[in-house]
């Protein structure tokens, strides 16, 4: 029960990394708010978690939606102690000049600007409490980029850097900020990252670049998110935390 008594918001919680983070947080004693544009999916994940979890529709690219999410969390649970900015978006693996401007804007709205909105929404409460944890799901793409994902890579580089900057600025107020950096994972965005069909043969090309010999799994990211949100990590802030099987070595 490493998160007992904590209130956590997890975005992009209807599937993949976010869903497993929400489940793990609940199993560790946290009250969890599952936010996703796919409200039905988020409700399906939340239902087995009991009364200490609820789902809410939220477009993280909308400041109004983020503010409503935080307001409803405070109304129900009275606090926001942990935020996991997990919702993400990518373009298909392709030549950089083939990505249109609307897609570029959407990538940065979801991957970067959403964190701006969330920080503005939760910071007043965390400052009053003199504590808080913000976890941003960055990527090894922002550390060691793959070709064909230039604009996505750059958005995750921004996430990694802003996490460090937030950590420096908010540390004196007892607020920790870290970036979790997964390698390519077994999620719904896998084919977009690969830029080809998800077949065993195609997977081998990408797995070959990971020393531990497999892709990231949702439980890998969830375990890291539990640790970084817990008191066990009370002296850890401003890190790019690779969960990558050695990919960034």
With cut-offs at 50, 70 and 90, classify the pLDDT of residue 142. very high
Q: Taking the alpha carbons of 63, 130, 35, 192 in that order, is the dihedral positive or negative?
A: positive
- Check whether 3 has a pLDDT greater than 70: yes
- Average pLDDT over all residues of the chain: 94
| Whether 10 contacts 22, CB under 8 Å | yes
- Check whether 147 has a pLDDT greater than 80: yes
- Check whether 189 has a pLDDT greater than 80: no
Task: Select which of 25, 116, 152, 227 is catalytic.
Answer: 152
pLDDT of residue 164: 98
Annotated active-site residue 227? The verdict is no
Backbone dihedral angles phi then psi of residue 53, each to the nearest 5 degrees = -140, 140
The secondary structure of the chain in percent helix, strand, coil, rounded to multiples of 5, reads 50, 15, 35
Helix 150-170, helix 114-129: angle, nearest 10:
20
- Check whether 128 has a pLDDT greater than 70: yes
- Return the bridge partners of 3, or none: none
For 134, which DSSP code? Answer: E
Residues 82 and 142: their CA atoms lie apart, in Å, by 23
Per-domain residue ranges for the chain?
A: 7-243
Structure tokens, 190: 């896998």
Rounded mean pLDDT, 212-228: 96
pLDDT of residue 158: 97
- Check whether 159 has a pLDDT greater than 90: yes
The structural architecture, per CATH, of the domain 7-243 is 3-Layer(aba) Sandwich (3.40)
Torsion of CA 188, 45, 232, 88, to 10 degrees: 30
Reported as type and span, the H/E element at residue 83 is: strand 82-85
CB burial of 42-71 (b: ≥16 within 10 Å; e: otherwise) equals bbebbeebeeebbbbbbbbbebebbebbbe
pTM of the model: 0.94
Residues 79 and 32: their CA atoms lie apart, in Å, by 11
Structure tokens, 192: 């977009």
pLDDT > 70: percent of the chain: 98
- Return the bridge partners of 56, or none: 35
Residue pointed to by tokens 């941003």? 136
The predicted-structure confidence for 174-188, as pLDDT tens digits, reads as follows 999 999 999 987 776
- Check whether 203 has a pLDDT greater than 90: no
Rounded mean pLDDT, 90-115: 95
Residue pointed to by tokens 């969890």? 32
Max Cα-Cα span within the chain? 53
Structure tokens, 232: 């066990």
pLDDT of residue 195: 72
Answer with the residue of higher pLDDT: 93 or 226: 226
Q: Taking the alpha carbons of 78, 46, 120, 131 in that order, is the dihedral positive or negative?
A: positive
Q: Which of 165-169, 182-186, 213-217 has the highest mean pLDDT?
A: 165-169
With cut-offs at 50, 70 and 90, classify the pLDDT of residue 196. low
């Amino acid at each position: 029960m490493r998160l007992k008594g904590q209130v956590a918001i997890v975005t992009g919680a209807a599937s993949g990394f976010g869903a497993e983070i929400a489940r793990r947080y609940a199993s560790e004693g946290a009250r969890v708010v599952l936010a996703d544009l796919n409200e039905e999916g988020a409700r399906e994940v939340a239902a087995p978690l009991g009364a200490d979890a609820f789902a809410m529709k939220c477009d993280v690219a909308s400041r109004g939606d983020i503010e409503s999410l935080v307001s409803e969390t405070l109304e129900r649970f009275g606090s926001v102690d942990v935020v996991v900015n997990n919702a993400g978006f990518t373009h298909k693996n392709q030549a950089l000049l083939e990505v249109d401007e609307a897609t570029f804007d959407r990538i940065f709205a979801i991957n970067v600007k959403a964190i701006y909105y969330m920080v503005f929404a939760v910071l007043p409460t965390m400052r009053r409490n003199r504590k808080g944890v913000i976890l941003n799901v960055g990527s090894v793409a922002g550390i060691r980029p793959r070709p064909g994902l230039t604009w996505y890579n750059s958005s995750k580089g921004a996430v990694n850097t802003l996490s460090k900057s937030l950590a420096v600025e908010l540390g004196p107020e007892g607020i920790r900020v870290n970036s979790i950096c997964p390698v390519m994972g077994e999620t719904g965005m896998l084919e977009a990252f690969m830029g080809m069909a998800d077949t065993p043969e195609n997977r081998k090309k990408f797995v070959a670049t990971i020393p531990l010999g497999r892709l990231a799994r949702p439980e890998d990211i969830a375990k890291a998110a539990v640790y970084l949100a817990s008191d066990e990590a009370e002296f850890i802030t401003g890190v790019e935390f690779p969960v990558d099987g050695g990919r960034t070595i």
